[in-house]
């Protein structure tokens, strides 16, 4: 059980026997151990026989009042109903080799470190690039210097990225001594679902041009990019993606643009960032998904292809 949790949390756990005095009915219902994770002590209770969720809740409160530490229930097996009810009641538990549910742990670590973390509505550009690259590269554990090196940013920027990750879920960051470490404690699919509400549309603005010139060398973006990753057909016109530097270089604001009811020769999207992916001729798949307009996402065909693309990226 301990080895499974260590693997999931990517950290060592100190395990000790626990024989402190307690009411007889609790001794009859559980076997106890004391664990320590990042200087946070907790009492691990292994149920003996079947114990209902109502009783678990009462026993948890009693044990916490007796020993002044979080309580963690450890199960070899459990029903789906019981798992759902324990999550609903915020009862910490482990289901061996399947689930680690520790709602108290992030709070405890955050209080221990006493760090002020920012309130996050949307991630910064650097943090969003980090999240997407973490999925593509399957990064699991990175020290702050390693993070800075892989993104090509300063250590101050890397520290701010960790602040943002910690604000969303404290379990994404822990410390070993004075070193802060990123910890992807979950699978890519859960990681994406957790972070997606904080990700922004990378497209700042777009130009519907009457005539294209040197834009043909830009990355494909929008629906044109999605058509490269899937079976969906592109629009009658191509969509390209480029940066603000090229926007100024090509004087796009001075070019003739067409209204939405007219078909352009091409569309140029100006994005806040670009990630090197594949042959660098197409915007990376997750940024493509984030850049789709609400109207495009309402198309049933687009919705279906987006689901397939997500599955391909997250479960590859």
Residue 134: its pLDDT value, please?
A: 98
Structure tokens at 233: 């057909």
If the chain, 316 residues long, is cut into consecutive pieces of 10 residues, what is the mean pLDDT of each piece?
A: 81 88 92 88 92 93 92 89 86 87 63 56 95 97 96 95 89 86 93 94 94 78 94 92 88 88 92 92 96 89 93 90
> What pLDDT score was predicted for residue 6?
83
Burial of 156 from C-beta contacts in 10 A (0-12 / 13-18 / 19+): exposed
Neighbours of 266 (CB within 10 A): 20
- Answer whether 289's CB lies under 8 Å from 306's CB: yes
pLDDT digits (tens, 9 = 90+) for 1-38: 888 888 777 778 889 999 899 999 999 999 999 998 87
Alpha-carbon distance 37 to 1, whole Å? Answer: 14
Write a three-state SS string for 23-75.
CHHHHHHEEEEEEEECCEEEEEEEECCCCCHHHHHHHHHHHHHHHCCCEEEEE
* pTM for this prediction: 0.64
Over the stretch 175-191, which tens digit does the pLDDT of each residue have?
888 899 999 989 999 99
Measured distance CA(232)–CA(51) in Å, rounded: 52
State how far the Cα of 253 lies from the Cα of 141, in Å rounded to an integer. Answer: 43
Task: Give CA–CA dist 262/264, Å, rounded.
Answer: 6
| CA distance linking residue 276 with residue 282, whole number of Å | 9
Rounded to a whole number, what is the distance in angstroms from the first to the last CA of the chain?
Answer: 28
Q: What is the model's pLDDT at position 5?
A: 84
* Predicted pLDDT of residue 114: 41
The reported pLDDT for the residue numbered 216 is: 62
Measured distance CA(167)–CA(185) in Å, rounded? 15
């Amino acid at each position: 059980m301990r080895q499974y949790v260590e693997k999931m949390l990517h950290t060592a756990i100190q395990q000790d026997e626990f024989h402190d005095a307690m009411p007889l009915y609790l001794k009859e219902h559980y076997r106890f151990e004391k664990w320590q994770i990042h200087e946070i002590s907790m009492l691990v209770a292994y149920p003996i026989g079947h114990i209902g969720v109502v009783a678990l809740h009462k026993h948890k409160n009693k044990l916490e009042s007796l020993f002044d530490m979080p309580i963690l229930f450890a199960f070899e097996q459990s029903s789906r109903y019981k798992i759902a009810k324990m999550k609903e009641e915020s009862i910490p538990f482990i289901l061996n080799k399947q689930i680690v549910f520790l709602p108290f742990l992030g709070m405890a670590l955050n209080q221990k470190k006493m760090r002020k973390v920012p309130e996050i509505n949307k991630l910064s550009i650097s943090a969003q690039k980090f999240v997407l690259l973490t999925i593509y590269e399957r990064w699991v554990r990175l020290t702050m210097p390693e993070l800075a090196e892989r993104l090509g940013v300063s250590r101050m920027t890397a520290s701010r990225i960790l602040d943002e990750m910690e604000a969303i879920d404290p379990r994404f960051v822990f410390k070993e001594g004075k070193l802060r470490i990123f910890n992807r404690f979950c699978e890519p699919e859960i990681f994406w679902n957790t972070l997606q509400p904080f990700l922004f549309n990378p497209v700042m603005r777009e130009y519907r041009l009457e005539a294209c010139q040197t834009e043909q060398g830009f990355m494909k973006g929008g629906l044109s990019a999605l058509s490269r990753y899937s079976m969906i057909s592109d629009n009658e016109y191509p969509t390209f993606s480029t940066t603000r530097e090229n926007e100024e270089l090509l004087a796009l604001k001075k070019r003739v643009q067409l209204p939405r009811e007219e078909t352009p020769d091409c569309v140029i999207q100006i994005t806040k960032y670009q990630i090197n992916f594949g042959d660098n001729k197409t915007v990376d798949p997750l940024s493509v998904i984030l850049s789709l307009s609400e109207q495009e996402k309402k198309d049933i065909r687009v919705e279906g292809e987006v689901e397939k693309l997500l599955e391909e990226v997250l479960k590859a």
